[in-house]
Structure 1
Amino acid sequence: MQSRVLVHTIVFLFLIEALLARPVATPFAHSGSSSSALPRRSRALVTTVSRRAVTVRQRLRATQAGTLLPTSEAVDRAPTVTNTIPTSTPSEPTPPTSTSTPAHSAFRDPVPILMYHYIRPRPGSDDPLGQRLSVDPATFQAQMDWLAQHGFTPITLSELAALRAGLTPAPPHPIVLTFDDGYRDFYQNAFPILRAHGFHATVFVVTGFVGQERYLTWDMIRELDRSGLVEIGAHTVHHPDLTTLANPESEIRGCKDALEHVLGHPVTAFAYPAGKFDARVETAVRAAGFRQAVTTQPRWATSGDDPLALPRLRVTGDLTLAQFAALLTG
């Protein structure tokens, strides 16, 4: 702006100088005086204008060079702007990118989803259910070693959904490891083994049981979630049979809200308690915002399965390593 004002000033002064330098009709013209012989006052004015033009030209050069020549004449001082409003040049709009376009071919092969509960020493015969649902840590270690030796890649339930959608490339022999109920022995016994192998897993938490003696604490849940290896899924608030409830939404959404409040991100995986569900329950699960849900139907998951009714293979405490291998190779 300052340079523009100086340029305009120079042009104006040059015009005045040119006009004053032109021959003009004066009372002295008839006496043979030269056209350049102007009256004394006119010559003085031309001199003053010329000096001002030179001064302005000098200031313009100084301004373009990044400096301002000092001057004591107020008429030569350029105004200083102290309250300039910042402006920004709008950038070219970025074309919207599609998040629904698959970057890879959708993975359509069947995938086994394993279901665990306790990873602990098996109780005695006085607790037959606990005995059946408990896998000894040494047995679990042998099973995970077998998976590693045979080239399996344990992933989370959400990672399986990404494979099915073609959003990520398929790893060798994907398999999903799930752990129901959120028992503390997962953190104590299973997680160190998974971490040593770099295996991923999904843990389904019953939020109403968090912090009780046998269950994960909220600090443990946060640590597992932040590990990058474990996906935290929802398993209701109190583990009821959802098909018997007049309002299953409170159990489903209440669990989801509690987990998301603690973890600070969406929870999209769900496990039906005891595998029990019907069309009404599945509708409530979908309405709550879950994208995958698992049942207890015993078979491999296929690409054509309902993502809110995925089957799983139960791993029981009495399963031998050969039987475990048969689940995944037979």
Structure 2
Amino acid sequence: MNKLILKAAALSIIGLSIILPSLYAANSNTIFKDQVAVIMYHHVDDEAKSSGTVTTQLFKDQLSLLKNKGYQFITLQQFKEFMQGASVPHNAVLVTFDDGYESFYTNAYPILKSMRIPAVNFVITGDLEDPLASYIPSMSRDEIVEMTSDTNFIDLQCHTNSMHQKLPDDSAMLIGRIITNGTKETEDEYKQRVLTDTGQCISKLSELYPEPIDSYAYPFGIYDKLSSQYIQQAGMKFAFTIVPEMATRDLEPLQIPRINAGNSAISPEGLEASIKRRVVATNHPFNEVPLMETMGQLGGKATMNSKSQVQIQFQNTSWIGTINSQKLTSLTGGKTLNLQKPLYMKNNVVYIGIKDLENAIGVQIVYNPTVQSFSVRQTPAVKP
């Protein structure tokens, strides 16, 4: 009984050592707030060479730089609460790993534990049956139990049970349809396969770990509407992609973006720069934007001729309008778009309402106050 009390006290102290820095960071520099930089790793190893591998030194240096610059590392539980409406510390970072490699236990975990940095690993639970049989050795059940028993800031979640594979047609197994003896599986068979696999992943991790198993990382970052729907039916509330953006609570919780950190070419400074480039203004500071400059930043184009006619081009979309007019006409179909505010000029610069521009080019536009530029948001927001 005394041992249990001592262990509970030790875990409480470890928990406070994570929470308190999050609330009272020594470095008060606010780089961003009300959003989370979810960073992604796979393999930490000093011998292996691959695009998804970092050395132990680089891993430690990346985390050290972020910590010294005032970034505050949060747990998966804090992140889930944030997505459901709670606040997070300024400069919040969530560390994630995919695949459940043993290198997480042998190389990454000691660094995370010594620095008191939380992390979540999305595990391929089918590999638990024979951890050393996979191409890269995987964590064993005993290793998982040891980490989660010794700390309260290491999480394990789902990366499928046995669907982290490509089918013969090169489609991801999660979204593809299996063909057996020339017969393609039915839609109901596909649904049951995803439900069963996700249920198996949840069941196996639940045997090792007392926290809710309700989060998922898509294999290869590939998913579609049906696969997201089915893993949700199986019990998943959050799912992570590989779209490199910041996570804000207005986003679809089954399409959470992540910023890659797990490449040997990403220096500590490069990782911080990558995060800063993706900061978004959660309360948009502009009602209208300079059209030509903004379209250039979004990857499109806007021009004006001598007749004060303005043309907007973005991907396969093309519109034309006139200064002081509240209408745009499609050049690819004749459709008319009524604007909330007229196009206007000020100091020889053409301005358009940002909501009008979003409606015209069919994307969500976000502003990065750190680098003072606009970009297209790839992760969809939850519909009101």
User: Above 0.5 in TM-score?
Assistant: yes
Structure 2 CA distance, aligned partners of 1:297 and 1:329?
15
Match of 2:209 in 1: 263
Match of 1:212 in 2: 131
1:75-129, Cα deviation, whole Å (9 max, x unpaired): xxxxxxxxxxxxxxxxxxxxxxxxxxxxxxxx972321111000112535xxxxx
Match of 1:233 in 2: 157
Q: 1:281 to 1:121 in 2, by over 3 A?
A: same
Question: How many residues matched?
Answer: 217
Structure 1 CA distance, aligned partners of 2:120 and 2:243?
18
1:41-89, Cα deviation, whole Å (9 max, x unpaired): xxxxxxxxxxxxxxxxxxxxxxxxxxxxxxxxxxxxxxxxxxxxxxxxx
Q: 1:198 to 1:265 in 2, by over 3 A?
A: closer
Structure 1 CA distance, aligned partners of 2:60 and 2:91?
19
Match of 2:314 in 1: none
Structure 2 CA distance, aligned partners of 1:145 and 1:322?
11
What is the percent sequence identity of the aligned residues?
28
- Aligned residue runs from structure 1 range 86-235, under 5 A: 109-124=34-49, 131-167=50-86, 169-210=87-128, 211-213=130-132, 214-226=137-149, 227-235=151-159
Match of 1:14 in 2: none
Provide the TM-score with structure 2 as the length reference.
Answer: 0.54
Structure 2 unpaired stretches of 5+: 1-31, 166-171, 178-189, 278-384
Match of 1:252 in 2: 198
1:178 is paired with a residue whose SS is strand
Q: Structure 1 residue 237: deviation in Å?
A: 1.0
1:263 is paired with a residue whose SS is coil
Match of 1:298 in 2: 244
Structure 2 CA distance, aligned partners of 1:197 and 1:328?
21
Query: Max radius of gyration: which structure?
Result: 1
1:230-270, Cα deviation, whole Å (9 max, x unpaired): 11111111213300142222221111111112324421111
Assess if the C-alpha contact under 8 Å between 1:260 and 1:267 holds in 2: yes
Tell me which protein shows more helix as a share of its residues.
Answer: 1
Q: Structure 1 residue 296: deviation in Å?
A: 1.0
Provide the TM-score with structure 1 as the length reference.
Answer: 0.62
Match of 1:87 in 2: none
Q: Following TM superposition, where does structure 1 have runs of at least 4 consecutive aligned residues deviating by more than 3 angstroms? A: none
Structure 1 unpaired stretches of 5+: 1-106, 125-130
Structure 1 CA distance, aligned partners of 2:77 and 2:253?
10
Tell me which protein shows more strand as a share of its residues.
Answer: 2
Structure 2 CA distance, aligned partners of 1:177 and 1:264?
20
CA RMSD of aligned residues (A): 1.8
Assess if the C-alpha contact under 8 Å between 2:216 and 2:239 holds in 1: yes
Does residue 328 (structure 1) correspond to residue 275 (structure 2)? The answer is: yes
